[in-house]
Amino acid sequence: MPKLFPFRGLRPDQKYVEQVSAKSTDFSSKEDLVNEIQNNPFTFHHLTKGHLRYSGSYQSPEKFLPFALQYIRKMKADGILLQELEESFYVYEQVDQNGISYKGIIALCSVDDYNNNKIKKHEEIRPSRLHYLVELFKTAKVLGEPTLLAYKGNIAIDSYKTKPVFSFQSPDGKKHIVSKVTLSEEMDRLNHEFELIDDFYIADGHHRSASVSKFNEVSHHYFNDKMMCFVIQEDQLSILPFHRLVNSIHLNDKVSILSKLSEEFDVKKSTESIYIVNNEGTFGIYLDKEWYEISFRGDRAGRLDVEIIEQHIIYNVFGISNSSTDSQIAFHPHTQGENEMCKLIDSGIYTIGITNKPCSFEEVRKVSDQNKTLPPKSTYIEPKLRSGMIIQEF
C-alpha cells in the first residue's frame, strides 16, 4: 500500500491567504493573469506564472525563475508565508458555488511509490511542461499545489480531532477550509486507515508528480523524495471532459474535413448544440459556425471515447501523431463553456472543435490498473485546488 507522511507546511498567514492563493487553471485570458501579477504583490502567480512578464521565458526558464526564488524569500522574510512548527496532516475542504463539498487529506506521499506504480497514472505527459516544472523546483525549491490522488474506500475524515488553520472564500465563489491533525495518536490512526488502501490513482496533477520524480532523480542536495498530495475518495470527484480544438495546417476546409470524417463516422448536421454529449461513441463537431453529430461506425472494443478521438480523428483525419507535443491541437475545459469555445473557432484561431462525453473514474482506474495511459487532457476533474495555499519546501 502507498504511504502518507505528515509535514511542516509553508502557508500564508490568515490575513493574506486570499491574496496569496492563486487559481491554477481555467484562466479567462492571459491579460487577466498579467493584470493580477502587476497589481497583487502577494499572489503565488509571481512564482508559477512569472514567465508572462518575459518574452520567450517559458522556453528559457532561466530568464525568470530567479524571480520565483526571490518571491519565496521575500514572502517568508516579510511574514506573509509562515513555516508550520509541527508536522501535521492537513484536512482540506472545498465547497463550490452549488454547495457541493469535497474533503480529503493534504499530506506527503513517496516518490518511490510513484515510481513503483503504487500511485497509478493514466495520462501522457507533455515534455515542455515537465521541463518547466523541473526547472522551477530546482530554483524555487517549493511545490505549491498538491497532486490530486483518488482512492477507493471509506475513511471518516470528520472523525478526527483537528486544529483550525484558516478559511476563506476565493473570487470564484468557492469556500476553502483548512485544519490540521497534530495529535500523534490521531496521526497514527489516520495512517492505519490509509494502510488498508491498496493503491492511489492520480486524478489531477500528472505533470506535477512526474516533475517531482524527475527532480528527485537529478538533484541530490535536497530532501525531496516525497511530494505533496491531496487524497480524496474517488466517489467525491466530479469528472467533466476536455474538448479538443484543432487548427490543422493540412486539412482546414469544411468540405474536406467532413468528407474525411465520413470515412469512419456517420455525419449528421444538427440544428442544436452538441456541446454536451450524452452517448458514448458519439461526438459533437463545431465547424464553420455549424454543429454536426458524428457517430463512430467501428468496433469500440472497450476503448474510451478519448482514445477513439485520438486515433480516428486527431490522427486519421488531421494527421497529428502526438497530441502531447503538436501545436495544432489545444484543449478546452468543459467548464469554460460553449460560447468561449465557439468564439475561438469563429474568430479563426482554431478550425474545429470536438466535444465528447466524459468517462467515469472507474474507467480511468481500469486504464491505470492495466498500466496503460490515455491521451493528454482526457479528464477534467474537480476539485481544483488553489496554488500557494499549502506549500511543500524541498
pLDDT at residue 1 in the model: 77
Q: Is 70 exceeded by the pLDDT of residue 99?
A: yes
Q: Are residues 218 and 247 in the same domain?
A: no
- Percentage of the chain beyond pLDDT 90 is 68
CA angle 356, 205, 104 (to 5 degrees): 100
pTM for the model stands at 0.88
Q: Are residues 45 and 179 in the same domain?
A: yes
Averaged pLDDT for residues 115-127: 88
In a domain, 55, yes or no: yes
Residues written for the chain: 394
Distance CA 289, CA 352 (A): 9
Number of domains in the chain: 2
In a domain, 137, yes or no: yes
| Grid cell for residue 300 | 469500440
Q: Are residues 257 and 229 in the same domain?
A: no
In the chain, where does DSSP find H-type helix? 17-20, 30-39, 45-48, 65-77, 111-115, 127-140, 184-194, 206-218, 254-261, 305-308, 338-346, 361-369
SS3 117: coil
Q: Are residues 30 and 102 in the same domain?
A: yes
Q: Are residues 172 and 68 in the same domain?
A: yes
pLDDT at residue 57 in the model: 47
Residue listed under C-alpha cell 516579510: 78
Closest by CA to 49, choosing from 12, 175, 16, 32, is 32
Distance CA 390, CA 371 (A): 31
- Percentage of the chain beyond pLDDT 70 is 95
Distance CA 368, CA 364 (A): 6
Using 50, 70 and 90 to split pLDDT, how confident is the model at 27?
Answer: low
Q: Are residues 159 and 246 in the same domain?
A: no
H or E segment to which residue 167 belongs: strand 163-169
In a domain, 289, yes or no: yes
pLDDT in tens, 148-177: 999 998 899 999 999 999 999 998 899 999
Distance from chain centroid for Cα 273: 27
Q: Are residues 118 and 233 in the same domain?
A: yes
CA angle 380, 384, 390 (to 5 degrees): 150
The CATH number of residue 258's host domain is 3.30.1760
In a domain, 27, yes or no: yes
Q: Are residues 285 and 324 in the same domain?
A: yes
The CATH number of residue 227's host domain is 3.90.1530.10
pLDDT at residue 31 in the model: 74
Beta bridge partners of 164: 179
Distance CA 182, CA 164 (A): 11
pLDDT in tens, 256-277: 999 999 999 999 999 999 999 9
Quote the mean pLDDT of the chain: 91
Q: Are residues 72 and 182 in the same domain?
A: yes
**Which domain covers residue 250, as residue numbers?**
242-357
